[in-house]
Amino acid sequence: MGNRDNIDEMSSTSASMLLSIIKMIDKYDLYGQVAYPKHHKQSEVPDIYSLAAKTKGVFINPAFIEPFGLTLIEAAAHGLPMVATKNGGPVDIHRVLDNGLLVDPHDHESVADALLKLVADKQLWSKCRSNGLRNIHLFSWTEHCKTYLSRIASCKPRHPGWLKNNDSDDDENSEPESPGDSLRDMQDISLNLKFSMDGVDSEDRKSKLENAVMSMSKGNIVKTAQRTVSGEKADQAKFPALRRRNHIFVIAVDGDNIKNLFENVKKIFSAVEDEKNNGSVGFILATSLQMAEIHSFLVSNGLNPSDFDAFICNSGADLYYTSSHSEDNPFVFDLYYHSHIEYRWGGEGLRKTLVRWASSIIDKKGKNKNEEHVVTEDEAVSTNYCYAFNVQNPALVPPAKELRKMMRIQALRCHVIYCQNGRKINVIPVLASRSQALRYLYLRWGMDLSKVVVFIGESGDTDYEGFLGGVHKSVILKGVGNGISDQLHANRVYPLSDVWPTDSANIVQTREEFGVADIRESLGKLGVLKG
């Protein structure tokens, strides 16, 4: 309840919340069983934790999302078991401390059951208390430094001079012990740190620290080399080829048919044919299409799936890598990506709500009953993390902004994307999109975003603005996407120039009727290619 002012002096939102709690205390006659002191000192906080622990109580943090969760560590240090939200930092804290239960904060019954389970099961309560006290030292400064250095040692250097150890190629196939750890919190500032010796004042200390990190790195390489299957490293398949590229070209060209998309793909391939053949350039296809649709078209047009290092499909709901281990199934599905984007995903409840919404969009002027429903579910294309709908008449469908607002009113968060010239609607998790998938690749594989070039049209699906601006480079293919309906962007109340820095050195445009030479010229202006 915090330190607060008098109720009449509080903000209307805070006062309303406090009054609602007081009314519930009165309704359930909880007088004498609930304490909410108006003021408390910082020095009194340890006593509050201790009181709860002595009375065999539980510490609960039911936040919708918790970036880290320092209070959980404080509670554990006082021997107090926890019930915490499963969204955010508590997941990592629980993995280390194992001192309580994680719950969905939106599921009231789940929260109540967890609290009752801990206070009713004395053995479980004692086990959680003991685990917390025994493992709390793992959050000390010393342990933090050890963990940080071990992760540095297990990762491939991301820029010259990061570590002076270029003797072995094996470091490309070494993986951090927990690749999901850095994905739990998208705001983790440690992602931007670069290891440097500049702050070490002594040459002797600098040498010792560098040698220690190199030693740990070699130890991890040895462990990786020992895990072999038929003479090959078992972990090798875990690493997509994009880790070895000098540049990554992301083709995110939108349109109303797949044929136009691949005409532009072939132009881009031809423009960098030499670089493509020698492996210095890799390709990622980012599209609203399903993987099966892409695969079918690749095969029918004589293109090899291995021409691409990765496929961002269903508007960013699914991520695949290419694999040479199976001709029948040349794609590897990234399960970690779904764990990354599933925050507040509505699942089946969201799908049913969307189906009801779709059935309400009716063309009253339709010639017959078959034409009355403007929006219909596309079950053949839908996946667990992408609900797809067909649109018969884009002009009769409200803007994406209105549909998002409608879902949020019902406590359903999602990312609504109008695509394929308004003929399709993809509904995906709120943390998913094609541009967010690129950020995930940066987080998981260390892909250097400054080495990424994104090819887009002058307009596109309602998520294409996410590709404009940033540390990556962009090539805008003039004339591409012009056929896309303005209805897709009817909710835009700002000029596109507000999100497209026209004076940026990282963005270039081709001429209207561009060819292979124009694409190569644009890449030269960006400094990606020579000549």
> Quick one: pLDDT at residue 367?
59
Residues 190-241: tens digit of each pLDDT: 333 333 344 444 556 555 554 554 444 444 433 333 333 333 333 334 567 7
Q: Phi/psi at 203 (nearest 5 deg)? A: -60, -35
**Does the pLDDT value for residue 315 go beyond 90?**
yes
Q: 343, 287, 342: which is closest to 310 by C-alpha?
A: 287
Residues 318-344: tens digit of each pLDDT: 999 987 665 556 788 888 899 889 888
**Does the pLDDT value for residue 368 go beyond 80?**
no
Count Cβ atoms below 10 Å from residue 345 Cβ, excluding itself.
20
Q: What confidence category does residue 174 fall into, taking pLDDT thresholds of 50, 70 and 90?
A: very low
What's the pTM value of the predicted model, to 2 decimals?
0.57
> Quick one: pLDDT at residue 412?
86
> Quick one: pLDDT at residue 175?
37
The rounded distance, in Å, linking the Cα atoms of 222 and 216 is 10
> Quick one: pLDDT at residue 244?
82
Q: What confidence category does residue 501 fall into, taking pLDDT thresholds of 50, 70 and 90?
A: low
| Bridge-based pairing state of the strands 232-233 and 59-61 | unpaired
Q: What confidence category does residue 366 fall into, taking pLDDT thresholds of 50, 70 and 90?
A: low
Instruction: Give me the mean pLDDT over the 487-511 stretch.
Output: 70
In order of 253, 260, 269, 377, 458, the CA distances from 263 in angstroms are 11, 5, 10, 29, 16
For the chain, give the mean pLDDT.
Answer: 79
> Quick one: pLDDT at residue 369?
53
**Does the pLDDT value for residue 21 go beyond 70?**
yes
Where do the H-state alpha helices sit in 188-345? 203-226, 258-271, 273-277, 291-300, 335-341
Is-contact 39 96, C-beta < 8 A?
no
The rounded distance, in Å, linking the Cα atoms of 262 and 303 is 10
Burial 96-125 (b: 16+ CB within 10 A, else e): bbebbbbbbbeeeebbeebbeebeeeeeeb
**Does the pLDDT value for residue 153 go beyond 90?**
no
